[in-house]
């Protein structure tokens, strides 16, 4: 028997207040099919949906849902249906639901589907109860059918992190999906390992070898090898029936 959604009090998060910011680089880009899209625009929208639900860490060719993509391009399903298909897919279940607690999974889904952070622990408990009693598919359906989702995204818009800009702050809230980007500048500042390529191997030089070789360590290895050989000969000599 499923339980009704427990009550919880919304907190004063940024997305609950009307914004008057001047559009800039940190404003979320809205992907929607409300306007007629070209084939290239539709591919970009689909990519944005994958990034929102799967995050960049799971955006692999292996995880693509080709059937859902074809239905969306053909107009057989809405963007909301596409989001639902991604959220209940085996890939999403295996990589997110099976590897996290119900509380953490609920937080992830609210971030990715409703586009905001959870209000409090009470909300986590409320939606975790829905997840535990009604199952994954019904939990996702309840999020997508909520007034909050339909008001902000409707049937044709890809969810996004709402109102990330903070007034009178130099930067906005950090995105929910964060992944380090190691560009060339970052790589050049890191310690370099010993990577040998064929074109960098120097010709053998006896003088250099004698100067740089660690004979103390080499001597220890030679002693061990000689000891093994002698021990093997002694054992073989003792077992020789012709002796």
Domain co-membership, 108 together with 46: yes
Give 5 or 150, the one with higher predicted confidence: 150
DSSP 59: -
Q: Radius of gyration of the chain from Cα atoms?
A: 30
Please tell me which of 4-13, 54-63, 151-160 the model is most confident about, judged by mean pLDDT: 151-160
In a domain, 160, yes or no: no
Residue 94 confidence (pLDDT) above 60: yes
Domain containing residue 229 = 205-239
Indicate the number of domains in the chain.
2
In a domain, 97, yes or no: yes
Domain co-membership, 45 together with 139: yes
Express each pLDDT in 136-148 by its tens digit: 999 999 999 999 9
SS3 of 87-155: HCCHHHHHHHHCCCCHHHHHHHHHHHHHCCCCCCHHHHHHHHHHHHHHCHHHHHHHHHCCHHHHHHCCC
Please tell me which of 6-10, 90-94, 185-189, 191-195 the model is most confident about, judged by mean pLDDT: 90-94
Express each pLDDT in 72-83 by its tens digit: 999 999 999 999
pLDDT score, position 55 = 80
Domain co-membership, 18 together with 123: yes
pLDDT score, position 197 = 47
Q: Which of 79-88, 129-138, 150-159, 216-225 has the lowest mean pLDDT?
A: 216-225
Domain co-membership, 103 together with 216: no
Burial of 179 (0-12, 13-18, 19+ CB in 10 A): exposed
Structure tokens at 144: 């997508």
In a domain, 113, yes or no: yes
Using the 3D structure, point to which of 152, 183, 218 is the last residue of a domain.
152
Domain co-membership, 131 together with 222: no
Q: How confident is the model at residue 53 (pLDDT cuts 50, 70, 90)?
A: very high
CATH number at residue 72: 1.10.3130.20
In a domain, 171, yes or no: no
Domain co-membership, 140 together with 52: yes
In a domain, 93, yes or no: yes
Using the 3D structure, point to which of 136, 152, 168 is the last residue of a domain.
152
Domain co-membership, 143 together with 228: no
């Amino acid at each position: 028997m499923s339980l009704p959604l427990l009550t919880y009090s919304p907190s004063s998060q940024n997305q609950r207040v009307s914004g008057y910011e001047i559009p800039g680089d940190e404003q979320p880009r809205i992907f929607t099919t409300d306007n007629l899209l070209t084939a290239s625009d539709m591919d970009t929208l689909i990519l944005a949906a994958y990034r929102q639900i799967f995050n960049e860490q799971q955006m692999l060719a292996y995880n693509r849902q080709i059937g859902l993509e074809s239905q969306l391009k053909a107009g057989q399903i809405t963007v909301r249906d596409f989001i639902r298909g991604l959220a209940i897919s085996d890939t999403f279940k295996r990589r997110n639901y099976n590897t996290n607690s119900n509380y953490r999974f609920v937080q992830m889904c609210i971030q990715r589907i409703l586009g905001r952070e959870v209000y409090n622990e009470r909300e986590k408990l409320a939606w975790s109860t829905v997840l535990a009693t009604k199952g994954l598919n019904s939990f996702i359906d309840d999020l997508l059918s909520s007034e909050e989702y339909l008001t902000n995204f409707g049937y044709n818009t890809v969810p996004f992190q709402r109102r990330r800009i903070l007034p009178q702050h130099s930067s906005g809230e950090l995105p929910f999906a964060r992944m380090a980007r190691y560009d060339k500048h970052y790589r050049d500042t890191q310690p370099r390992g010993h990577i040998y390529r064929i074109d960098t191997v120097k010709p053998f030089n006896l003088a250099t070898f004698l100067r740089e070789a660690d004979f103390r360590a080499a001597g220890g290895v030679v002693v061990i090898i000689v000891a093994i050989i002698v021990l093997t000969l002694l054992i073989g000599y003792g077992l020789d029936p012709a002796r």
